[in-house]
Structure 1
């Protein structure tokens, strides 16, 4: 039976790694195949077939509920009910709409919407909204968070921007939102957001600084409800009833053990529902139920059996859960603890158990965090020694009791005030530690190096005394210090990052690194901080020899401050340096300047007659082994005419589309002289500027140019000097991503 359950889990998990889903007739036929295998006692094969069939069916249903391509970018009147916990931050109301309907148009059941400067929206309300709809799509960069996968796992079929709306009905059955509103009205010593996260699992009230502190110290799991909170609460209820029964205070007519197990599970389930019943909570509830069932029936199930049953239960209820990083971290953490403590011959003291558990979890999860592209906290094992009991035993009881007793005057508010102060003390301590030991963003490493490092982590988790156990340390260090492959002399690696409506291009030679433009910033939304800087770190960039900012517009220079603060930068140049923040200490673009890095030639140009920031763009030509790339910023037709009289007006293999493909650029004269074979376009999907303009696209197509568009291809990588087609992120096929269009 255990083999069959393991095979079922493998079949359900196989979905995560499929480049594309099999045809419908295949996964519909698979259950029949599984039933045919059962009489031959090939249970493992049969259960595997059942698992992958059920997973593929769920994935196909979710994909079929996505917005049709013909409706992408259109505005429709939509009616539906608000679900979840709406978020209101920086003047933007974000919420989910379910049971969405529109006249004469079939829409996805779940929509994720944003309403700029919109009114207050509460869960349970029914609205009629004018929405500009978009197919689910996110920025796609190397080793970054996969927003497309997250949207599919949440079964969100479309995103959109609300243009207007009318409330049709007040909230009904919105008890979680009601609790949140009451919590937000309480004086929690400035920690209302953290208190709401702890009680309801809603982290929307935490600031960006709070999230960074939690990430740096490896304590995110403490503020967003995890299985640890559920297990602690269930354990307290069980121990309370057991203690009452031991001292004769429990009613004798009620058998204490069934009541203790039932009430403990009821409390765990209730807290899970309060928290939104996410993957860690589901896993915890299933495992708690199995442990209590074992206790009630006096059967020893072992440790791995409940974990396996919990894994199968979570995946059967929601096969798409495997697309979320939290799913893997949740089960892996429990598996590390079982593996670590399950094979010990002698007991440890409680303090040994507690301290070693933190370090062993850190070692065991490090390979998984690396492959998921998540930061690794250096201080996490030490911080959690104190933070876990502080939250679990000191903060959580008054927080939950205060939320429960809010209807009682002064009592509930007083307990929440106390809990808020305790959380504030914790955050002050975490901030001190985060300032000294920030999280480490690991560099992407080769598969063989990761495999050896993972094997080293497993060896270190083995009991003390196992022969050759010490070899785990040098193997594990391959994750920290992987071998780096240097580019050949005379070659350049180019990454056009996917930053939406903006531009950021990384240029690397054998020993030098340059960033051309830094991504956009719109208000507090800084893609330099959120996308460019993490991508540079994961690509192994530990400093920049040159940051070249074409001009001062926010979509090109917005992320400059974040990048300069996050990495050492030797020199900053810009075509409009006077308009940049003074702390950047940028210098002007030296038109005509040339230099060579590792056999790769660079040359700058700027139009002397420029009258606005776009025309002042600093143009860069890169030549490697006779292959040329021209980075043009946002120059327009007038600047292009001046460029044709410069030394850069030579046949060019690669052209970065001027001004994102605007109608005021990419003139026929420029294309005729440069004769580019391929054009790179960086722009946002469905942007309000209409980039790239159809006229410009027609020019490219008329000349037979290959077109690589970040909105369609994600981040794009080319090796200048090899005369080969580029590689794009969407060529790394996953069934939840749309296929990239043909480059021609």
Structure 2
């Protein structure tokens, strides 16, 4: 039976790694084939086929619920009910609309919406909204968070921006949102957001600085409700009921054991529902239920059997859960703990168990964090020694009890005030540790190195005396110091990152690195911090020899401060140095300046007569083995005419489309002089400026130019000097992504 359960889990997990879904007829035939195999003792294969077909069916249903292509970018009136916990920010309100329908069109049943300057929205309300609909799509960069996969896992079929709306019905049956509103009204000593995250699993109230502190110290799991919280509450309820009979406080006519098990599971389930019943919570509830069932029936289930059943239960309920990072971390953490404490020749003392568990979990989860592209906390093992019992034993009881007693005047508020103060003390300590030991964002490694590192971690988790155990250290160190592949002399690697309506281009030679523009920043949405900096680190960039900011507009220069804060930058040049923050210490773009890095030639140009920001863009030409790339910023037609009188007006293989393909740029004269073979366009999907303009695209196509558009293809990679075609992220096939 256990073999069959493993096979079922493998079939369900196989979905995560499919480049494309098999045709419908194929996964419809699989259950029939599986039934035919059962009598021939090939039940493991039958279970695998059952799991695989069920996972493919769910994925296909989710894909079929996506917004039709003909409605992409269209505005329609949509009716539906607000679900989940809306984020009512000052500038924008974000929420999900369920049971969505439109009178004349078929729209997905679940839509994620943003309403800029909109009124507060509460869960359970019925709304009629004018929505500009968009197909699910996110920024696509190497080794970055896959927003497309996350939307599919949440079964969100469309996103959109609300233009207008009318509330049709007040909130009904929105008890989680009601509790959140009560919590937000409580004085929690400035830690209402953290308290809400701990009680309801809603991290929207945590500031960006709070998230950074939690990430740096490896304590995100403490405020994002995990199995630890659920298990602790169930254990406390069980021990409370089990202790009552000893003091004669339990009715003799009622058997205490069934009641203890039942109430403990009810407490776990109730807390899980309060937290939104995400994957870690579902896994914990299933495992707790199995353990309590074993306790009730006095049967020995072992440790791995409940984990295996929980894995299958979660995947059967939602096969798309495997697309989420939290799924892998949740089950991996429990598996590491079981492996650590199982099969030992003798028990550890309690303090040995506690201290060893922390650093062994860090070793066990390190390769998984690296493969998932997540930061690794250097201080996590030490911090969690104190933070875990502080949250679990000191903060959580008054937080939950205070929430339960909120209807009683002063009692609930008082307990939550105490819990808020305790959380504030924790954050003060975490901030001190995060300032000294920030999280480490390692460079992405090839799959074979990740596999060797995982093998090394497995060896180190083995008990002492196991042969080859010391070999785990050098294997694990491969993740920290992977072999570096240097570029050939005279060539350059170019990455045009996918930063939406902005520009960020990474240029690397054998020993040098340059960043041309740093991505946009609009208000608190800093893509330099969110996208550019993490991507540079994962690509192995440890510092920049030069950051060249073409001009000072926010879509090109907005992310510069975040990049300069996160990486050492030797020099900053710009077409508008005085308009940039003084912290950057930017120097002026020197028109006519040239230099060579590792056999690759660079040359700068700027229109001296420019009066506005866009024409002042600093232009960069890169030449490697005779293959040229021209980075133009946002120059317009007038600046292009001046460029034609410069030494840069030579045949060019790759042209970064000026001003994102605006109608005011890419003049016929420029294209005739440069004769580019391909254009690189960096822009946001469905942007308000209409970039790229159809007239410009027509010019490109008329000349037979290849067009590479970040909004359609994601990040784009060139191997300058090798005369190879461009490679785009869409070519890395995943079944949830549209084909390139």
Q: TM-score, normalised by structure 1?
A: 0.99
In structure 1, the partner of 2:234 is 234
**Could you say what the CA RMSD is over the residues aligned between the two structures, in angstroms?**
0.6
Alignment partners' CA distance in 2, 1:331 and 1:418: 33
Instruction: Please give the alpha-carbon distance, in whole angstroms, between the structure 1 residues aligned to 2:690 and 2:702.
Output: 20
The 2-side partners of 1:518 and 1:669 are apart by: 29
The separation in 2 between residues aligned to 1:182 and 1:91, in whole angstroms, is: 22
Query: Which residue of structure 2 lines up, in the alignment, with residue 106 of structure 1?
Result: 106
2:529 maps to what in 1? 529
The 3-state SS of whatever aligns with 2:244 is helix
2:105 and 2:603 map into 1 onto residues whose CA distance is 54
Matched, 1:600 2:600: yes
Residues 430-469 of structure 1 aligned to structure 2 (within 5 Å): 430-469=430-469
2:254 corresponds to which residue?
254
Secondary structure of the 1:87 match is: strand
1:484-503 to 2 correspondence within 5 Å?
Answer: 484-503=484-503
Q: Corresponding residue for 1:304?
A: 304
Distance in 2 of aligned mates of 1:709 and 1:484: 30
- Matched with 2:514 is 514
Corresponding residue SS for 1:615: helix
Give CA deviations for 1:368-415 in whole Å, capped at 9, x if unaligned. 100100000010010000000000000000000000000101000000
The aligned counterpart of 1:573 is: 573
Q: Measure the CA separation in 2 of the matches of 1:376 and 1:470.
A: 23
Q: Which stretch shifts more, 153-162 or 239-248?
A: 239-248
Q: How does 1:122-271 map to 2 (within 5 A)?
A: 122-271=122-271
SS of equivalent residue, structure 1 residue 132: strand
What SS does structure 2 have at the residue aligned with 1:679? strand
Give the structure 1 partner of residue 617 of structure 2.
617
For normalisation by structure 2, the TM-score amounts to 1.00
Report whether the alignment pairs 1:405 with 2:405: yes
Q: What are the superposed Cα offsets for residues 82-120 of structure 1, whole Å, 9 maximum, x if unpaired?
A: 000000224110000000011110000000000001001
SS at match of 1:344: coil
Is 1:414 equivalent to 2:414 in the alignment?
yes
Does structure 1 residue 385 correspond to structure 2 residue 385?
yes
- 1:591-740 matches, within 5 Å, as 591-740=591-740
Q: CA deviation at 1:471?
A: 1.3
Unaligned runs of 5+ in 2: none
| Aligned residues between the structures | 740
Mapped partners of 2:72, 2:546: distance in 1: 39
1:479 equivalent in structure 2: 479
Shift of 1:690: 0.5
Offset, 1:314: 0.1
Aligned-partner Cα distance in 2 for 1:672–1:634: 19
Q: Deviations over 1:219-246 (max 9, x none)?
A: 0000011000000000000011111122
Matches of 1:202 and 1:125, distance apart in 2: 19
Whole-Å Cα distance in 1 between the matches of residues 711 and 45 of structure 2? 41
Deviation at 1:578, TM superposition (A): 1.3
Distance in 1 of aligned mates of 2:718 and 2:304: 46
Q: Partners of 1:135 and 1:619 in 2: how far apart?
A: 35
Match of 1:551 in 2: 551
Q: CA deviation at 1:447?
A: 2.1
Offset from partner CA, 1:640-684 (integer Å, 9 cap, x none): 111111111111000000000000001111111111111100000
Partner residue of 2:34?
Answer: 34
Deviating beyond 2 angstroms after TM superposition, the runs of 4 or more aligned structure 1 residues are none
Distance 2:437 2:474 in 1: 23
Matched, 1:272 2:272: yes
CA distance in 2, matches of 1:80, 1:37: 45
Q: CA offsets, 1:623-648, max 9 Å, x none?
A: 00000000000001111111111111
Cα distance in 2, alignment partners of residues 689 and 84 from structure 1: 33
Q: Distance in 1 between matches of 2:354 and 2:597?
A: 52
